[in-house]
C-alpha cells in the first residue's frame, strides 16, 4: 500500500511538474515583450495606453499657443514635444511606437488613428504661411 501511495505521489508530482512546465512555456510565450505590449495596447480603457484617444482628443485641437513659423522652430518643437508627452503620444514621434508593418496586426488601425490625430494636431499648430510644406505628409514622424 505504501508503494501505491509513493507511486501515486510520484505520478502526481510528475503530472504537476509537467503542468507547471507547460504553464511555464505558456507563460513565457504570453510574457514576451510583444505579447505584453499587445495586451497593454489593446486595453483601451487603460488611461496610460498611448493608443487611447479620449473625447477631448480631436483633430481641431491646437496643442501649443505659438504657431510654428520660420523663426521659432526650437521653442515650438519643445512646446509640441511637451504637449505630446502630456497626451501620451510622444512615442509615435520618437519611434518608440513604430507603425506596425503587418497589415493583419491588430494595432495597425489603432496606430493609424493615433498618427492621423497627431498629424492634425501638428498641422493645426503651424502657421498657415508654411502649412503647404507639410499638408500632404501622412506620417507624424516625418513632420
| pLDDT for residue 96 is more than 70 | yes
- Unique residue bearing C-alpha cell 497626451: 87
Q: Is 75 contained in some domain?
A: yes
Q: Is 122 contained in some domain?
A: yes
Q: Is 4 contained in some domain?
A: no
Q: Is 33 contained in some domain?
A: no
Q: Collect all residues with Cβ–Cβ distance below 8 Å to 8 and sequence separation of at least 6.
A: none
- Unique residue bearing C-alpha cell 507639410: 134
Q: Is 35 contained in some domain?
A: no
| pLDDT for residue 67 is more than 80 | yes
| pLDDT for residue 3 is more than 50 | no
Q: Grid coordinates representing 134?
A: 507639410
Q: Is 119 contained in some domain?
A: yes
**Residue 30, pLDDT score:** 59
Predicted confidence (pLDDT) per residue in 72-95, tens digit: 999 999 999 999 999 999 999 999
Element (H, E) at 14: helix 2-30
Q: Is 126 contained in some domain?
A: yes
Q: Tell me how far apart the alpha carbons of residues 85 and 64 are, in angstroms, rounded to a whole number.
A: 13
Do 85 and 79 form a contact (C-beta atoms < 8 A)? no
Q: Is 116 contained in some domain?
A: yes
Residue-number span of the structural domain to which 64 is assigned: 49-142
| pLDDT for residue 24 is more than 70 | no
Q: What is the pTM for the complete model shown?
A: 0.73
Amino acid at each position: 500500500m505504501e508503494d501505491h501511495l509513493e507511486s501515486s505521489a510520484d505520478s502526481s508530482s510528475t503530472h504537476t511538474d509537467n503542468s507547471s512546465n507547460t504553464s511555464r512555456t505558456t507563460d513565457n510565450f504570453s510574457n514576451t515583450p510583444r505579447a505584453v505590449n499587445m495586451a497593454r495596447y489593446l486595453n483601451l480603457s487603460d488611461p496610460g495606453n498611448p493608443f487611447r484617444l479620449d473625447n477631448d482628443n480631436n483633430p481641431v485641437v491646437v496643442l501649443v499657443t505659438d504657431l510654428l513659423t520660420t523663426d521659432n522652430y526650437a521653442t515650438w518643437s519643445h512646446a509640441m514635444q511637451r504637449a505630446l508627452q502630456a497626451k501620451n503620444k510622444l512615442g509615435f514621434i520618437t519611434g518608440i511606437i513604430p507603425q506596425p508593418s503587418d497589415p493583419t496586426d491588430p494595432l495597425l488601425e489603432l496606430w493609424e488613428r493615433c498618427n492621423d490625430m497627431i498629424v492634425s494636431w501638428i498641422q493645426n499648430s503651424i502657421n498657415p504661411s508654411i502649412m503647404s510644406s507639410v499638408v500632404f505628409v501622412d506620417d507624424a514622424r516625418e513632420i
